[in-house]
Amino acid sequence: MSTSPRGPIDASKTPRFAGPATFARLPRLDQVDKADVKVIGVPFDTGVSYRPGARFGANHVRESSRLLRPYNPAQDVSPFENMQVADAGDVAVNPFNIGEAIETLQGAATDLTSDGAKLITIGGDHTIALPLLRAACERHGPVALLHFDAHLDTWDTYFGAEYTHGTPFRRAFEEGIIDTDALSHVGTRGPLYGRRDLDDDRRFGFGIVTSSDVYYQGVREVVAKLRDRIGSRPLYISIDVDVMDPAHAPGTGTPEAGGITSRELLEIVRGFDGLDIIGADIVEVAPAYDHAEITGIAAAHIGYDLVSLLARQHDRDNAPDAGKR
């Protein structure tokens, strides 16, 4: 039996539009012995405050990922060649009970990473970041966080509810599961409830790179500042697709004008090569508003570049001279 990783379905033999959709047409987790990276979906949007529909996001991104190919020229890596990547399906969480859904996802994430695998999670709304961070902290201790979003998501409550898509990072701060010396929002913009929102955010330890900063400073300067802030700490990346302008991501629940482009987001993500990435999520894809699959395609490519970063990390860690560094 071959020990080589099992990659995507060969598009020269099976048309891309044929067969069931897994992320990048990769094998299911039950089709491989072990996976280094597991892609999971979380069909959950009970925590949204405006437009619903992100519960359908994971399968939409899977369908949008059919055109991804085995070699990533931007990172000069074939991400499925030397490590096993598999689609682990969806975590079935309770759509009527947010607390139970959070507990279920935390348990599933802990189980899925117990063998050392890393998770790329496709949401779902941003509520899911909290249990994913809890699971990451169980394994790594408090983690560095880069949070890509139009919004801060550090508000206290909505209608008295502590667990929503606008509160996960405040709860994470209160629970001590994120490293307060290495936190940053990226791409924030738009109106806030008041100046106190920013004051609270600074108190939690977050730095802010606004979408205007990306425009005026450029990708390279932004990446350099973020890398300096993170250093060698274990890093979790959380990406709300509304960080992109609605022109590049119309299919989301709380769009804001003036966002970054999909090209800028991809280039920033690619700039994290060499950092100790331990997991990531891509959330708030709402296909009902996504004409021509614009958001789904962007999210699929973001996921592909995140997997590619993990593949480069895997190749470095398993190079013959890795122990001599």
Can you give the pLDDT at residue 324? 61
Position 153 in a domain: yes
Reply yes or no on whether the pLDDT at 292 is more than 50. Answer: yes
Position 6 in a domain: no
Position 210 in a domain: yes
Q: What is the 3-state secondary structure (H, E, C) of the chain?
A: CCCCCCCCCCCCCCCCCCCCCCHHHCCEHHHCCCCCEEEEEECCCCCCCCCCCHHHHHHHHHHHCCCCCCCECCCCECCCCCCCEEEEEECCCCCCCHHHHHHHHHHHHHHHCCCCCEEEEEECCHHHHHHHHHHHHHHHCCEEEEEECCCCCCCCCECCECCCCCCHHHHHHHHCCEEEEEEEEEEECCCCCCHHHHHHHHHHCEEEEEHHHHHHHCHHHHHHHHHHHHCCCCEEEEEEHHHECCCCCCCCCCCCCCCECHHHHHHHHHCCCCCCEEEEEEECCCHHHCHHHHHHHHHHHHHHHHHHHHHHHHHHHCCCCHHHC
With beta carbons less than 8 A apart as the criterion, state whether 279 and 236 touch. Answer: yes
Can you give the pLDDT at residue 33? 96
Average pLDDT for the chain: 97
Position 14 in a domain: no
What is d(CA 170, CA 51) in angstroms, rounded to the nearest whole number?
A: 22
With beta carbons less than 8 A apart as the criterion, state whether 48 and 54 touch. Answer: yes
Q: How many domains does the chain have?
A: 1
Known binding-site residue numbers: 126, 149, 151, 153, 240, 242
Reply yes or no on whether the pLDDT at 115 is more than 90. Answer: yes
Known binding-site residue numbers for Mn(2+): 126, 149, 151, 153, 240, 242
- Quick: pLDDT tens for 133-153: 999 999 999 999 999 999 999
Can you give the pLDDT at residue 214? 98
Q: What are the φ/ψ torsions at residue 244 (nearest 5 degrees)?
A: -85, 150
Can you give the pLDDT at residue 323? 63
Domain that holds residue 63: 23-316
Mean pLDDT calculated for residue range 271-282: 98
Q: If you count them, how many residues does the chain have?
A: 325
CATH number reported for the structural domain that contains residue 77 in this entry? 3.40.800.10
Can you give the pLDDT at residue 2? 54
Residue with tokens 């089709």: 31
- Quick: pLDDT tens for 12-34: 999 999 999 999 999 999 999 99
Of 30, 32, 26, nearest in space to 1 by CA: 32
Position 8 in a domain: no
- Quick: pLDDT tens for 44-72: 999 999 999 999 999 999 999 999 999 99
Reply yes or no on whether the pLDDT at 1 is more than 80. Answer: no
Can you give the pLDDT at residue 325? 52
Position 10 in a domain: no
Reply yes or no on whether the pLDDT at 167 is more than 70. Answer: yes
With beta carbons less than 8 A apart as the criterion, state whether 233 and 187 touch. Answer: no
Can you give the pLDDT at residue 3? 78
- Quick: pLDDT tens for 68-109: 999 999 999 999 999 999 999 999 999 999 999 999 999 999
Per-residue pLDDT band for 320 (boundaries 50, 70, 90) equals confident
